[in-house]
Amino acid sequence: MLLQVDNLLNDIKTDYAQLKRWTADDNTRKSMIQRFNDGLTYVIGKKYIKIIQGGGVWGFIVNTDNDKKFRKGDILKAASWASPTRNKARGNILDGGYNISWMGPGYL
């Protein structure tokens, strides 16, 4: 499961690096990408893996087989710092084929 989380983080980093609106010079762009990448991490909890970018929550990954609504590996948007939005999964890191951006899981 942690390999798939690492793959998700790499996909987020790639999406950020491929922004089409880069207007900064090359050194500034590289510095901004490095700062973004360094700020992207995760915390493993009992029910969820919280994906953190800088000072905010990017989203959550279901980390249990005992959730009544979601499967292990489902990607959920953040409702707050401590909890996800539990309306619908935005994809699954174990299945692949999810729709994400550097700003968060894809909209429904």
Residue 58: predicted pLDDT: 98
Predicted confidence band of residue 97 (pLDDT cuts 50, 70, 90): confident
pLDDT at residue 79 above 90?
Answer: yes
Residue type, 102: W
CA–CA separation, 2 vs 7, rounded Å?
A: 9
CA–CA separation, 36 vs 27, rounded Å?
A: 14
Predicted confidence band of residue 106 (pLDDT cuts 50, 70, 90): confident
Nearest one of 14, 100, 96, 20 to 60, comparing CA atoms: 100
Nearest one of 56, 55, 53, 62 to 86, comparing CA atoms: 62
Sign of the Cα torsion 13, 64, 80, 89 reads positive
Predicted confidence band of residue 27 (pLDDT cuts 50, 70, 90): confident
CA–CA separation, 64 vs 22, rounded Å?
A: 39
Residue 95: predicted pLDDT: 95
Higher-confidence position of 51 and 96: 51
Q: What is the mean pLDDT of residues 14-32?
A: 84
Phi and psi of 3, rounded to 5°?
-65, -40
Residue 20: predicted pLDDT: 72
pTM score, two decimals?
A: 0.93
